[in-house]
Amino acid sequence: MTADFHEITSAEDLIPLHPDRNIALELVRATEAAAIRSVPFIGRGAKEAADGAAVDAMRAFLSTVDFDGVIVIGEGEKDDAPMLFNGEHVGTGRGRAYDIAVDPIDGTSLTAAGRNNALSVIALSDRGTMLDASTVFYMDKLVTGPAGVGVVDIRLPIGENIRRLAKALGKPVEEMVVSVLNRPRHEQLIADIRETGAGTRLMSDGDVAGGINAARHDARTDMCVGVGGSPEGIVTACAIKALGGHIQGRLWPRHDEEAQKGIDAGLKMDHVYEADDLVAGSNTIFVATGVTDGALVEGVRRQGGYVYTESVVLRGHSGTLRRISSDHLESKWF
């Protein structure tokens, strides 16, 4: 009897209460495929072509997985992607029912420019546990590692949060590093961070990796803050469950019409969404494969007849982060 089963009292009790560990490997196959298919477009300035190739590859692999998946966080409406839209069913339909969040390339602009930190990402949780924030595209987020739990709060000024986290970590404020997307909307936020004496790590894109890197125990950054994609916030929350970190989010509608669409969908515009509001429970799996090199994983490499990929799997129930390095015969892909 494993830790993933309660006492068996009926045939239904034979169904695992937590995601089948084999599903994690199947999801890795899907993110690997998406990352590999995007390789011809890295640094070519064609982000739509890269995204389209990654979407097609991911969707093809997901269709073979024995589960009943519904995409809660997709990208079809947001990025004009050809597939993997919100509400689409994926998998064979056999097995347990899950909510799915996908981003075949988190960082299409990074991929097109050949810059670091582009990822292919899938996250999974039990059916009905993942917040559907698709009607509001952006979210203000605060992410830290375990030291920030019960210490920082997105409602506080950034300087206060930095000082509180520095004290919890036992390090000087001057040694704190905060990740922020490099956007005009963050000019004051960046200035306020630097005013405290802390440093910034400005990201051109890819705030999923930024959030995860801030929550890792061996991270070089201490906090990730600012307005990024709402889908990325949900995906990041799935990973934070495995890392024991802290995440909060507030929806950031761009205009009144979008705010009303969110309200009509049951979302709260003036509400702080905690980790369990974003993804309920700990029954989560997060999988990412590097497209380009980054602090979380290395990007795809082609050398000597092989294609090399590196992936991470974070499982909320067990609190583990596993790395998977794979060698693929190039002749099977190109």
Annotated binding site for Mn(2+): 51, 75, 103, 106, 232
Rounded Cα distance, 12 and 68, in Å: 17
Cβ(150)–Cβ(325) below 8 Å: no
Q: H or E stretch including 285? A: strand 284-290
Rounded Cα distance, 164 and 161, in Å: 5
Cβ(186)–Cβ(227) below 8 Å: yes
Cβ(169)–Cβ(147) below 8 Å: yes
Q: Dihedral sign, CA of 153, 155, 161, 164?
A: negative
Cβ(211)–Cβ(234) below 8 Å: no
Cβ(250)–Cβ(282) below 8 Å: no
**Amino acid in the structure at residue 334:** F
Binding site residue list for substrate? 106-108, 138, 183-185, 205-207, 229
Q: Tell me how far the alpha carbon of residue 26 is from its chain's centroid.
A: 17
Cβ(65)–Cβ(94) below 8 Å: no
Interior angle at CA 299, CA 238 and CA 141, nearest 5: 35
Pick from 309, 334, 302: which is nearest to 324 by CA? 309
Cβ(217)–Cβ(145) below 8 Å: yes
Interior angle at CA 136, CA 133 and CA 137, nearest 5: 100
Cβ(95)–Cβ(20) below 8 Å: yes
Binding site residue list? 51, 75, 103, 106-108, 138, 183-185, 205-207, 229, 232
Rounded Cα distance, 4 and 15, in Å: 10
